[in-house]
Structure 1
Amino acid sequence: MIDWNVAVQTGTRLVRPGPQVEPAEAREVVAQLRELSRVAHGHVRDFTGLPIEADPAPATVVDRPGWIRANVDGFRVVLEPLMERMAEKRGPGLLGGGAGGVVVQAVGSRVTGMQVGAILAYMAGRVLGQYELFLPPDPSGEAPAGRLTLVAPNIVAVEQELDVDARDFRLWVCLHEETHRAQFTGVPWLRSYVQDQMTEFLLASDLDPGAMLDRLRDAAEAVADAVRGGEGNLIDAIQTPAQREILDRLTAVMTLVEGHGDYVMDAVGPEVVPSVRQIRDRFQGRREGGSKLDRTIRRLLGIELKMKQYAEGSRFVRRVVTEVGMANFNRVWDSPETLPTHAEIKEPALWMRRVLDPPAIDTTPPEANEA
C-alpha cells in the first residue's frame, strides 16, 4: 500500500537544505547538543520527579534526510502489520485479482509513497526534535525501546532566525524532548497505550469503496476550506465515526504529553536557561506566524491542532501543579484511567475532583482559613 523506498527517495529529494555552516561548526553543534541532552535529562529528572534512569543513551543528532529516514522506519514498524491485517480484511475483491490487480497495487503504492515523502519533506524542515517511540526491533535485544532525536540544522536555523542565545536555545529544546523521554520511559504503560490507540484508530478505517469515496470528497472539501482560510484539516475529513471517539482519547493523551513538555521547558527556570522568557516570546511569535501558504499547509496536516495541544496541555499542567503540587499532578501517570479527558484538560478542576484524594484539594472557604 505504501512504497517506503519511494517515500524516502521523494522526501530526501524534495527537502530543503539546512543553513550553511562550516564542517567544524557542524561538529561542534552536534557535540554540544549531545552534551546538553544529558544536562537537560538531569534537570527533567529532578524537576518532574518521574522515575527515570540516571544515565540514558545520548541523543541521536541527525540532519533533515536522516530525520526522514528515521520516521519512515518508525512508520513501517507501526503500519506494515496493520496493512497486512487490513489487506486480509479487505480481500482481493476491491482491486481485482490477476496481473491487473498487481499493477494497480504497484502504481498505487508508488503514488502513496510519493505523497508520504512530500509530507515528510515539509515536516523535516520544521521539526526540532522528537522522542521516537517506534523503532525497528534490535536483534540483540539490547537497544532501548525508544530514541531521542534532535534535528541539528533546524535547531540552528531557528536560533538564527530568532536571534537568541544559541546555548540557551539548544538546552531549552533539549528540556522539551527529554521530558518526552522521561514520560515514555518513566511511565511503563504509556508507550503501549499510545500504540494501542493508534492501532485501534487505523483498524477502524472504513474499507467499503463507497465510504472511501465519501472520505475522499470530504478531504477535497477540507483542502478547499483550508485554502479559503477555514479550519478544515485532512485528519478530521478522512476519519470514520468510530475513529472520532478513539481520536478524542488519543488527542487527550498527546495534549497532556506535549503540554507537559512545554510546561517543563519553561518552568525549570531562568537559572538553567537565563534567556528563557525572551526565547519563549520570540518562539511563540514564530509559531503563530508564517505565510498564508504555510498556514494553510499547517491546518491541512493538523499542525495547527498540535499548536493548540501545546497551549491547552501546558495550561492544564500549570493549573494542577500550582494548586496541588507536582506529586499530585503526577497521578496522571498512574494508569490509563487517571489520564485527563479532553474536557478535563479544558477544565482541570474536573480532573482534580475525579482523580485526587479529597485532602489533596483545599476546598475550605478563604474566610474559614483566616479565622
Structure 2
Amino acid sequence: MTASDMVDWDLAIKIGSRVAGEGPTVSRQEAADVVAELRDGAARSTSLVGDFTGLHAPAGTAPVLVVDRPGWITANVEAFGRITEPLMRKMEDRRGPATGMTKAVGSRVTAMEVGGLLGFLGGKVLGQFDPFAEPHGRLLLVAPNIVNVERELEVDPSDFRLWVCLHEETHRVQFTAVPWMRDHLHGEVAALADAVDVDPSELVSTILERAGDLLRGNSDVSLVDLFAGPEQRAVIDRVTGVMSLLEGHADVVMDEAGPEVIGSLREIRRKFNRRRKGVGMLDKVLRRLLGIDQKMAQYRNGASFVTGVVDKVGFDGFNAVWAEPANLPSKDEIGDPDAWVRRVHG
C-alpha cells in the first residue's frame, strides 16, 4: 500500500486550496514586488543569520521558494506522501489491502479531512522549511499570508517581510549547516510512525468527542495526544525537545539579529505576539486540536532555553548543541537550561 492508496492527494490539494482561498487582493505589479522583496530578504538574511549564530550554510543547498497558498498546500501534500509511507504499510499489514469501493471512498474521505486541515493552515502559515524535500530540503515563503498579516497588524511591510525572512532563513541554515539534523529528524518521524498502534476507523468518533470537550472548555488535548502510548510519548517528547530548540533559536535570531536592519522590530514583535493568541472560538478550538497552541509554547520555551544557555556559556558554548544528536536538549532540559549546561559542559 502506498500513501496514494489511502489518500486522494489531488483531491486534498483542490479542497485545501478552496478552503484557504486566494488571500488579499493585490495588483500584478504589487505581487511581483512582494515576491522580489521576499527573495531579496531571504538572501540578505543568510549573512545576518550566519554572523549572529556562527552557523554557515553551504551555498547552493535548499532553495528558497516564494509560493501562494495552493503552492504551500501542494508542497505539504508532497511531504505528507513521503513521510506517511511507513504508516500506510503498517496499516495494510494490520487490516489488509483496501480494494474496490472501500479504497475509492476511503481515499476521498481522508482527502477531505486532510484538505480541510491544510486549507485552515494554508491561510495562516507565513513560511516553512520542509526538511524532507530532496535532496537538501526547501524553504517556502507564503507571500499572500505575509501580505495579509502585515496589513492586519498595520506594520511597515518591508520591515515585516525581512523579519519573517530572518526567522525562516534561520531554519534553512539549521538544517543545511548542521548536516546530520535532517536525517535525525527524519529518523524520529519514522520511529513515531513505527510506534503508532491506532485503528483509523476509531479516530473519527474520538476526534469529534475531543472537539466537543474543547468547545465546552473541558480539555486542552490536541490530536497528537490520541497517539500517545508510552513508546510514542517517548518519541514525541524527543521531537518536542528538538522542535522547541529549532523554533526558539529562530525566534531569538529574528529578534536579536534584526534591530540594526529592522527599525520597527519591537513594534512588530509586540503586535505579532498578540496575534499568536488566536481570535474567536472556532479558531481557538482548531488551534488546540491541531497542536498549534503547543507550537506557540515551543517558540516561548525554546527561546527561553537559548537565552538561558547563552547567559551561562555564551553563543560558542550554546553552539555545542549542533555538534551531535546526543547534545540536543530533551523536553525537560528545554525548561531547565542549567541541566543541559551541566550535562554537555560539565
TM-score tier (shorter): over 0.9
Q: Which residue of the partner structure matches residue 3 of structure 2?
A: none
Asked whether the 8 Å contact 2:87–2:194 carries over to 1, the reply is: yes
Deviation of 1:350 after TM superposition, in Å, equals 0.3
1:177 maps onto 2:168 in alignment: yes
Q: Which residue of the partner structure matches residue 213 of structure 2?
A: 225
1:186 maps onto 2:184 in alignment: no
Deviation of 1:206 after TM superposition, in Å, equals 1.2
Deviation of 1:323 after TM superposition, in Å, equals 2.0
Distance 1:3 1:331 in 2: 43
Deviations 1:151-197 (A, max 9, x none): 00000010111111111110000000000001100111111111111
Asked whether the 8 Å contact 1:38–1:58 carries over to 2, the reply is: no
Q: Give the 3-state SS of the residue equivalent to 1:288 in structure 2.
A: coil
Deviations 1:18-65 (A, max 9, x none): 110110011010011001100011100111101312565652101101
Find the partner of 2:130 among 132, 137, 153: 132
Whichever residue aligns with residue 61 of structure 1, its letter is V
Q: Which residue of the partner structure matches residue 153 of structure 1?
A: 144
Aligned residues: 340
Q: How high is the TM-score relative to the length of structure 2?
A: 0.93
Asked whether the 8 Å contact 1:194–1:250 carries over to 2, the reply is: yes
Q: How high is the TM-score relative to the length of structure 1?
A: 0.87
Asked whether the 8 Å contact 1:64–1:125 carries over to 2, the reply is: yes
Deviation of 1:226 after TM superposition, in Å, equals 1.5
Q: Give the 3-state SS of the residue equivalent to 2:220 in structure 1.
A: coil
Q: Which residue of the partner structure matches residue 106 of structure 2?
A: 108
Distance 2:297 2:255 in 1: 17
Deviation of 1:216 after TM superposition, in Å, equals 5.1
Distance 1:253 1:260 in 2: 11
Q: Structure 1 pair 84/237, CA: closer, same or farther in 2 (3 Å)?
A: closer
1:36 maps onto 2:24 in alignment: no
Q: Give the 3-state SS of the residue equivalent to 2:276 in structure 1.
A: helix
Asked whether the 8 Å contact 1:34–1:58 carries over to 2, the reply is: no
Deviations 1:191-233 (A, max 9, x none): 11111111111121115x5xx6665554333212211233121
Q: Structure 1 pair 29/213, CA: closer, same or farther in 2 (3 Å)?
A: closer
% identical aligned pairs: 49
Could you tell me which runs of 5 or more consecutive residues in structure 1 were left unpaired when the two chains were aligned: 96-100, 138-143, 359-371
Distance 2:31 2:160 in 1: 16
Within 5 Å, give how 1:19-168 maps onto structure 2: 19-54=24-59, 59-87=64-92, 89-90=93-94, 92=96, 101-135=99-133, 137=134, 144-168=135-159
1:275 maps onto 2:264 in alignment: yes
Deviation of 1:331 after TM superposition, in Å, equals 0.7
Distance 1:213 1:20 in 2: 41
Kindly name which structure, 1 or 2, has the bigger radius of gyration based on alpha carbons: 1
Whichever residue aligns with residue 120 of structure 1, its letter is L
